[in-house]
Amino acid sequence: DTEGLLRIKEENQKHYRRAQRHQEKKEKIQRHNRKLGDLVEKKTYDLKTQYEHLAKLRRTHILELTSVIFPMEEVKTSMRDPADMSSESDNAMTSSTVSKLAEARRTTYLSGRWVCDDHNGDTSISITGPWIILPNNGDYSAYYSWVEEKKTTQGPDMEHNNPAHTISAALCYATQLVNTLSLILDVNLPKKLCNRQVKTQQGHHEFCGENLSRHRFTRAVKKLNANILHLCFSQHVNLDLLHPLHTLRNLMYLVSPDTENLGR
């Protein structure tokens, strides 16, 4: 029993010495973890600072881009309100019908409800110049009408300022601006839109083709609007300001100096 007790004491001493070594290793690992934690915290702070610096650079580039090359602003149009034309309207059209038309023109379906939109119909938004404009409400039916008219008329088109040309040009510039913003912000766009006017495997620039069919034109507009909304979401633009059909107005909200997260 005495010899057994001595053996147990020796084993206990070995275990104790081993426990001391393990304790030293544990303390060493803990010190190493604390150093790594401090380093990670410092690197995280440095990374956050770099992100903030990068956001400021992106913001500066975007504001320069949209003030020098792609300026956008609201342009008042000379459209007449239906209520103002009541005296000139057909006798069959009652005053109540005219007032309802006027109200409908100033109303937009937004976020599941009809809201009054003071910008709807009576303003346009220009890009790169006051002569290249898009309807504020996203109604591009003038382009379809022009294409249909071109199918029935012969000869060269001499109207260089017709709405179809300005709509096509504005959408071209908007596409180029969106693609450039995508590069600056390092955000991948969900839809691919070509902004080159050279011929590619997919064809010409979506909006620079001659007499685009209604289907192709509408499809390209939807892709452009989707890309713009995607950029707005990525920069945390206030969702209450956005409308899925307001192409240039959404872009204006995106690149506005008031957009706090622009460049994030």
CA–CA separation, 136 vs 81, rounded Å? 16
* Mean pLDDT for the stretch of residues 19-38: 94
pLDDT of 207 above 60: yes
H-run or E-run covering 222 = helix 214-234
The whole-number pLDDT of residue 94 equals: 58
State pLDDT tens for residues 136-184: 888 888 777 777 776 666 555 555 567 778 888 899 999 999 999 999 9
Number of other residues whose CB lies within 10 A of the CB of residue 229? 19
Q: Residues 204, 206, 207, CA angle at the centre, nearest 5°?
A: 110
| Better-scored residue on pLDDT, 212 or 62 | 62
Predicted confidence band at 209 (pLDDT cuts at 50, 70, 90)?
Answer: low
Global pTM?
0.67
Q: Quote the DSSP letter at residue 128.
A: S
Contact status, residue 127 vs residue 171, Cβ threshold 8 Å: no
Least confident of 23-27, 114-118, 179-183, 211-215: 114-118
pLDDT of 208 above 80: no
What is the residue type of 96?
A: S
pLDDT of 108 above 70: no
Q: Which residue has the tokens 């707005």?
A: 232
Predicted confidence band at 187 (pLDDT cuts at 50, 70, 90)?
Answer: very high
pLDDT of 22 above 60: yes
pLDDT of 185 above 80: yes
User: Positive or negative, the Cα torsion across 130, 117, 107, 175?
Assistant: positive
